Amino acid sequence: MTRAWIGLAAICAAACRPPQLGDPLRGLSKAERAQFDSGLVVFATTFTPAVGLGPLFNASGCGECHEDPVVGANGDEVERHAAVFHPERAGAMCDELADKGGPVFQDSVTPALHTALGIDHEPLPPMVTTVAARSTPDVFGFGLLDAVPDSEILKYADPDDRNGDGISGRPNRFFDGRLGRFGRKALVPTLREFNDGAFQVEIGITNPSVPVEGTVTGDSLPAGTDPAPDPELGERGLELTDAFVRLLAPPAPLKQTGEARRGSDIFARVGCTSCHVPALRTGDNPIRALSHKEVAAYTDLLLHDMGPDLADICLGLATPSEFRTEPLMGLRHATQFLHDGRAKTPEQAVDLHGGEGARARDLFKALPAADRAALLAFLKTL
Amino acid sequence: MRRITLLSLVSLVAPVVLVAQQTAAPHDSVRGAIRAVDTRARTLEVTTGVGFALRVVRLQVPATVPITDRKSAQGAPINLAELKPGDVIRVSFGSRPTGLVAYAIERVGRMDAGVEPTP
């Protein structure tokens, strides 16, 4: 009898513990769990030139960057994005260098490409006006963000600041007009597209969604530098990778102390929640674990002007100084902050907010030390 | 981090690569934002892509190609000169020795105004 009770308690303890970093969402079917496990294998794979790596690449696999402290987490890699901003061109102010393969310029090449061209990274085209640094975010809970209906995001948009609160979130759009939400400037509409594109852009792995290898700053690859037949990853590999990322659970917030609870109130009082909206709600979804769930992401997935000091590249409708509100879920696991990792602490990141974030920043800085500490204690529970 | 061996990758990926190679089809339509219009040369550049993997599709637009605007009554015809950078269009096209040639163009909206997804 005692053994039975111990067994029951052990089962309950396992089921009741909050998800750990890298765990799947709760409530998956057996088939979904199997997809998650197989997707982890693809995500954690190290590719070589023989199976398609490169010839241009930033990493040899998803898990090379999204790795610390577990697969799917953030990483210390920072990559180069570039674009050309033409403020005088109404309707098409941003040149995302699509004719050069897009805004991501790879920092590594395979030995074959190095031998052929004598380069060790993709050169930037001369017309580039700005180069941006992009840090590696974690991807926990991104399936929930993908499952948020457009209408839920758009209800927070106030592009002309009609309510006069100094916050004017506006949507970014992909080139086909769909609402964007992924990427630091919210260009990409869906998680699947982000993942499929990343295989080619980040690893040089062609696939059914992106069947053609990237160029070298717009020029075709020299013959013989890409020996693996295209596509280098099949549809099943894409599906499994997508399942792994989609089904990763968001980091569970820590239990709040009294100080952190007070900090949560202050976070709202100084105006942080105007952009870092505490929770969004998902809509209908074929995956039950993603359907009609609240996701405490602390973002509105909209663009906000962050001021000239943080400005870098344009992207889609996003001007150089506009960035998507960074989700704060899992913030306590981050080791660098803001889109380029320039802030080493959450407090530094707050200090660097400008533009629409300036008022909340100033109110934070004017708080008594105990209130600032409480707000930071709250952030450390996320 | 623990690396997964190359062998496990090959066993997982190789079969699907073979299947994918057999089913890949050439693109024959595109939906994206106009990047440039040259009315004299009758050419269009359309930005499209998947995630951050972007590309530009350059198209010749013969004078006979129907160009319509979804928002006008019964999709009334419009001129090439009425298409502007930032317009979202859907183009069907084919490959010719001289390059890609548009068959039909429909303006579906503006990138900055948003366009509802269509099946």
- Asked if A85 and A188 sit in the same domain, the reply is yes
The answer to whether A229 contacts B2, with C-beta atoms less than 8 Å apart, is: no
Shared domain check, A207 and A58: yes
Q: Decide if pLDDT at B118 tops 60.
A: no
Residue B14 has pLDDT above 50, yes or no: no
CB contact under 8 A, A234 and B18: yes
pLDDT of residue A5: 62
Quick: pLDDT tens for A300-320: 999 999 999 999 999 999 999
What pLDDT shows up at residue B24? 37
What would you measure as the largest C-alpha separation in chain A, in angstroms? 79
Residue A90 lies in a domain: yes
Residue after which a domain boundary falls, among A193, A214, A247: A247
Q: Is residue B22 predicted with pLDDT exceeding 50?
A: no
CA-CA-CA-CA torsion sign (A331, A19, A184, A57): positive
To the nearest 10 degrees (0 to 180), the angle between helices A258-269 and A369-379 is 100
Asked if A162 and A270 sit in the same domain, the reply is no
Which of A67, A177, A233 faces B115 most closely, judged by CB atoms? A177
* Cβ–Cβ < 8 Å for A194, A18: no
Q: For residue A328, tell me if it sits in a domain.
A: yes
**A136 and A116 together in one domain:** yes
Q: Does B6 touch chain A (CB under 8 A)?
A: yes
Q: How many CA atoms lie within 13 A of A235 on its CB side?
A: 8
Residues of B whose CB is below 8 A from A139: none
Which of A51, A138, A175, A313 best probes binding to B when mutated, by most B CB atoms within 10 angstroms? A175
Q: Are A76 and A127 part of one and the same domain?
A: yes
Domain housing A66? 30-166+175-247
Residues of B in contact with A67 (CB under 8 A): 1
Is residue A43 one of the residues assigned to a domain? Answer: yes
Percent with pLDDT over 90 in chain B:
64
CB contact under 8 A, A233 and B50: no
CB contact under 8 A, A234 and B16: yes
**Is the model's pLDDT at B50 over the cut of 50?**
yes
Helix axes A358-365, A369-379, angle to 10 degrees: 120
Q: ∠ at Cα B1 (A113, A147), nearest 5°?
A: 90
Percent of chain B with pLDDT over 70: 74
DSSP assignment of A192-234, as one string? HHHHHHHIIIII----SSS-SPPPBTTBPPPTTS--SPSPSS-
The number of beta carbons lying within 10 Å of the beta carbon of residue B11 is: 11
Contacts of B17 in chain A (CB under 8 A): 229, 231-234, 237
User: Is there a domain that residue A282 lies in?
Assistant: yes
Q: Per the structure block, which two tokens stand in for A339?
A: 């889109």
Residue B85, chain A, CB below 8 Å: the answer is yes
pLDDT under 70: residue ranges of chain A: 1-16
Q: Specify the 3-state DSSP secondary structure of A16.
A: helix
**Rounded distance between C-alpha atoms, residue A268 and residue A279, angstroms:** 13
Nearest one of A184, A203, A215, A197 to A315, comparing CA atoms: A184
Chain B touched by A183 (CB under 8 Å): yes
Task: Indicate whether B25 pLDDT > 90.
Answer: no
pLDDT of residue B115: 83
Q: Could you tell me if A243 and A267 lie in one domain?
A: no
Of A110, A69, A372, residue with least CA distance to A232: A110
CB pair distance less than 8 Å for A232 and B109: no
Instruction: Assign A108 to helix, strand or coil.
Output: strand
ipTM of model over 0.90: yes
Is there a single domain that holds both residue A77 and residue A135? yes
* Bridge partners of residue A57, in order along the sequence: A108
Same domain, A272 and A233: no
Q: Do A197 and B88 touch (CB under 8 A)?
A: no
- Average pLDDT, stretch B6-15? 45
Q: Are strands A75-85 and A94-95 parallel, antiparallel or unpaired?
A: antiparallel
Chain B positions touching A63 (Cβ under 8 A) are: 1
Is residue A98 one of the residues assigned to a domain? yes
Q: Are residues A226 and A290 in the same domain?
A: no
Q: For residue B72, what pLDDT is reported?
A: 80
Residue A22 lies in a domain: no
Cis peptide before A19 (omega within 30 of 0): no
Check whether residue A243 and residue A319 sit in a common domain: no
Nearest by CB to residue B1, choosing from A67, A179, A187, is A67
**Is residue B71 very low, low, confident or very high in pLDDT (cuts 50, 70, 90)?**
confident
Same domain, A327 and A346: yes
Strand-pair partners of A382: none
Same structural domain, A118 and A138: yes
A173-218: pLDDT as tens digits: 999 999 999 999 999 999 999 999 999 999 999 999 999 999 999 9
Q: Does residue A337 belong to any structural domain of this protein? A: yes
Domain ranges of chain B: 27-110
**pLDDT in the model for residue A357:** 97
Which of A193, A225, A247 is the endpoint of a domain? Answer: A247
* Surface of B (35-74) touching A: CB under 8 A: 35, 45-56
> Across the interface, do B47 and A188 touch by the CB < 8 Å criterion?
no
Residues 6+ apart with CB under 8 A from A217: A100, A101, A105, A122, A123, A124, A125
B19 touches chain A (CB under 8 A): yes
CATH number for the domain formed by residue range(s) B27-110: 2.40.50.320
Question: Best residue in B2, B16, B45, B52 to probe A by mutation, most A CBs within 10 Å?
Answer: B52
Confirm whether A196 is domain-assigned: yes
What pLDDT score does B11 carry? 46
State how far the Cα of A73 lies from the Cα of A329, in Å rounded to an integer: 12
Q: How far apart are CA A98 and CA A250, in angstroms?
A: 33
Number of domains in chain A: 2
